[in-house]
Chains A and B, each alone.
Chain A
Amino acid sequence: MTDQNGIGVYLCSGCAIGQSIDVDALSGIAASEFKVPICKTHECLCGDEAVAMIAEDVASGGVEKPVIAACSPRVMTDRFQFDGAQVIRANMREQVVWCHPPGDEDTQMLANDQLRMAITRATKSNAPEPWKEGEFSDKILVVGGGYVGLSAALEASRAGTDVLLVERSDQLGGNVRRWSKVLPDSPPYGTPRDNPVPGLIAAVEGDARISVMTDAIVAQTSGQPGQFKVEITNGGSTSEEMVGAIVLATGWRPYDPNKLGHLGYGASPDVVTNVELEEMLAAGKVAKKNVAFIQCAGSRDPDHLPYCSSVCCGVSIKHALQLIEADPDVMAYVIFQELRTPGVAEDLYRAAQDAGVIFMKGDVKSVGADLTVVVDDALLGEEVPLQGLDMVVLATGMVPNSTNIDLPTRELGEDEEMPPLLRSDIDTTAPITVAGYMGEEPAAVEKREETMPEGGPLLNLKYHQGPHLPMLADGFPDSHFICFPYESRRTGIYPCGPLRRPMDMGEAGLDAAGAVLKAIQTIRLVRDGASVHPRSGDLSYPKIGLEPCTKCRRCTIECPFGAIDETDKDYPVVNPARCRRCGTCMGACPVRTISFDNYSIDMLTSMAKSCEIPDEFDEKPRVLILACENDAYPALDMAGLSRRNYSAFVRIIPVNCLGSVSALNVSDALSVGYDGIILMGCKSGDNYQCHFVKGSAMAQERAANIEETLASMMLEKERVEAMEVEISDAERVGQLIDDFVATIDEIGFNPFKGF
């Protein structure tokens, strides 16, 4: 017998719900099956009158868990928010009446089960007690004193936060300090602008909120957001600081030109890189008349950097303009594969064309010691030798400083394996391909074997998952550069600027502000014991019952964010402020001893069991969908929104992340008579869209393991399927469901039905 105290069921009959299904029958189920003390129906539950009614019930203390059977939990969240109450929603609109025929028996059965699941959820959900132990710090640590670090420090100071700025060299300013002109980020966009870094250095040095440490590196970082303990080594002495969040602005370094022998580097002193030219321009006049710029030197090349560094085209154009401005007789040739001038750099391109810079599209075949550059000219369709040049500039790309290359690379011990999750999202067996080619793409090359990243760790994290920041493809320590900018897979640590993806100074400045805002958000949220993005504000956190724990370490290994460390006795210990509440640990635990106050394996299983399973003579199969709340559940809502009818035999349970689904949920559901189970998550792989990095990938792995379980239960492996959908897949998701139900029809009913 479950606890119905504090549950109030509120049924909405608006938005055609009342016309499509029998709301009174629902009310009967709440009263008779669950004996809930309060059950009310209203024709417009989100209207002022009804909201006031619920608020009154909550305020009087009678209702702690209002169960709102109305629209999707993704809408009207602000209307159905009541202080001190845990609101549970049953999706009667998007996933019942909008995608199933009105008045139908199956539609009514679905609605009944939606309500049963919601009430069961309410009985299994406790009010979360937020974690707020110990002292919290509001200070932000900015690592790196280049343009981005300086900008970040100033942005944080402007927002009223104290900043500690740590720079490894003896001077602030980074790469850009020595340059004369930089790419324009304000009008006029066709003219290189003066270097802003000296001004920023002065502003930082005059700012009372910012303390600067030069010649300093972070020797060790432990703790969690709000309570990071950072040891900083500064000229032999080590000091300890407490900070709330960390903004990483360690920037970039140019790709090693010594690897570009095929482009003539080293053969002549007049073959230089763009960074070397930058310094020559700052030092004084460059007395060269005929200059060729070779774009993509070591970039978009599977043997070197497979990615585009996005700024080199703009930088070469800027250099050409600077040279022509100093001497109008200079002839500048820019040899490109695709000229990439994102955003306002197009104006710079026009200015260069107007100034007479010659742009040649084609591959460089050879660079001779006499500086003859042979170009396979795509626009003329022939090989052209460029003669009479007196300088060749190689536009090299950016390599992120995701490690400290001044420090020795950590060697792996004899029996030691690569630290888990350092790079394991990258499919190491797939060959490297280069994206974005219009013409013939370079042949893919085999990926090099995974090695420890070159150099020492930036922050030397005292995390069980290792001292390095996990990296995406190509060594950028970003979490997901499109959906979640500035986020790393270590909560409270925000990489920004060219460290997270190649970018110009205009973008990098905005990035600094973005990362600082993320850091401030984190500091404020963890103080209240709340989760950061994407489950922003979630007050629960994983609790581990240590008695049944078998020290299997799956939770510590599989946590995508390194939130779980181990004690001396190998027991897992959660750092709640690092946790993002995906529940991957919960799904990983073979003994179900990890759960949240308001979310657990038992809750999911109980919800699945609360549905009515008709016996096989009714010829009504039941398919359980465990849908990720981030992409799959919204896609199902979208299917409803576009009135895409799909099989009414499915029962949908939203989950925090597909990673939180245990194999036990699947076998439990099969044993109560579900005929099939769909694990519906987001896109996995190199271009994953999972909000928690690995959820879908974990689910697929677990689904593969479940096959063995199915075989031992003498069940067909087709009964369990992991699917990937995108939020825009409204049409496709319906088709996937219909196809799956058709497959179940073919293989027949679950023989465990009725046991």
Chain B
Amino acid sequence: MTAHLPETKRKYDLTFARWVSRNVHGGDKLNMCMQCGVCSGSCPLGEQMDYGPRRLFMMIRAGMKDEVMKSDTIWNCVACYRSEVRCPRGVPVTHILDSLSVVAVREGYAEAKNAETTRFAKAFWWSAKKFGLTDERLVTALYYFSGGIGEGIRKGMANQKIALRMIGKKRMHVGMPRKIKRRGELKKILAKAVEIENRNDAAAGEEVKS
């Protein structure tokens, strides 16, 4: 892919900001941010983040590439869309944070790879692609053990009670994983989706790996 991040030499070097504006979904609206802070004030998870969205956008403007990519702000967004709805300048906050997380993974930032959200997303996507639906037990297990055997056992033990109660209430499936019918069709749909995205990005001058 060609859309690698640019080098930034000094503060307020605009190359990074311009790159974000061209390559991140909704990034072209970032210019309009007037730093009012309504987004950060509205965020229900603001306290769980390194920086609020306002600060993150100013850091993009200031060319602080690594700090932005390593921050957990992009991972802790729960996509409630509150900031996006309230933004007086129409900045699509949620879309930008989501897109930035994709870029961070693609660019191989360790923080991004090891983010809990990434690990959970991987497990989720594995199950969805393989079975056509999510298997709570396997997704959970895969996610728990993605951080190593020790962490897997610890997390599993901690949530044992919940798991047993879920099984009792028939909320968690036991036995062979369930699958959808005609999984070949799903594969075709996903392949088509990748094809469409590539075509769109090619039209925009970029290329994306599946």
Contacts and interface: CB of A to CB of B under 8 A. Distances in A.
Contacts of A358: 12, 14, 17, 61
Nearest to B28: A354
A350 B32 contact: yes
B38 interface: no
Contact of B32 (A331, A333, A353): A353
Contacts of B17: 358
A712 B209 CA distance: 99
Given A358-B12, A387-B10, A380 B31 contact: no
A520 to B, nearest CB: 43
A385 B58 contact: no
Given A331-B14, A358-B12, A386-B11, A380 B32 contact: no
Given A379-B55, A379-B58, A384-B62, A361 B12 contact: no
Interface in A614-670: none
A333 B17 CA distance: 14
Interface string A344-369: 00000110011010111100000000
Contacts of A380: 55, 58-59, 62, 64
Interface string B32-75: 11110000000000000000001100110110100000000000
Nearest to A333: B12
A368 to B, nearest CB: 14
Given A379-B58, A380-B58, A384-B62, A356 B31 contact: yes
Given A384-B62, A388-B10, A354 B31 contact: yes
B35 A379 contact: yes
Contacts of A385: 10-11
B12 A354 contact: no
A377 B89 CA distance: 22
Chain B's interface size range is 10 to 19
A384 B17 CA distance: 17
Interface string A159-174: 0000000000000000
B51 to A, nearest CB: 10
A307 to B, nearest CB: 24
Nearest to A350: B32
Contacts of B14: 331, 356, 358
Nearest to B10: A387
Contacts of A349: 34
A161 B137 CA distance: 91
B31 A360 contact: no
Given A358-B61, A379-B55, A384 B35 contact: no
A353 B31 contact: yes
B12 A353 contact: no
Interface in A375-416: 377, 379-380, 384-388
Contacts of A387: 10
A331 B62 CA distance: 13
Interface in B1-33: 10-12, 14, 17-18, 31-33
A360 B32 contact: no
Contacts of B58: 379-380
A385 B34 CA distance: 21
B8 to A, nearest CB: 12
Contacts of A388: 10
B58 to A, nearest CB: 5
Contacts of B55: 379-380
Contacts of B54: 379
Contacts of A377: 62
Nearest to A384: B11
A380 B54 CA distance: 10
Contacts of B34: 349, 353, 359
Which 5 residue pairs across A and B have the least CB separation, nearest first? A379-B58, A384-B11, A353-B31, A353-B32, A387-B10
Interface of B: 10-12, 14, 17-18, 31-35, 54-55, 58-59, 61-62, 64, 89
Interface of A: 331, 333, 349-350, 353-354, 356, 358-361, 377, 379-380, 384-388
Given A353-B34, A379-B54, 17 more contacts: A350-B89, A354-B31, A354-B32, A356-B14, A356-B31, A358-B12, A358-B17, A358-B61, A359-B35, A379-B55, A380-B55, A380-B59, A380-B64, A384-B12, A385-B10, A386-B11, A387-B10
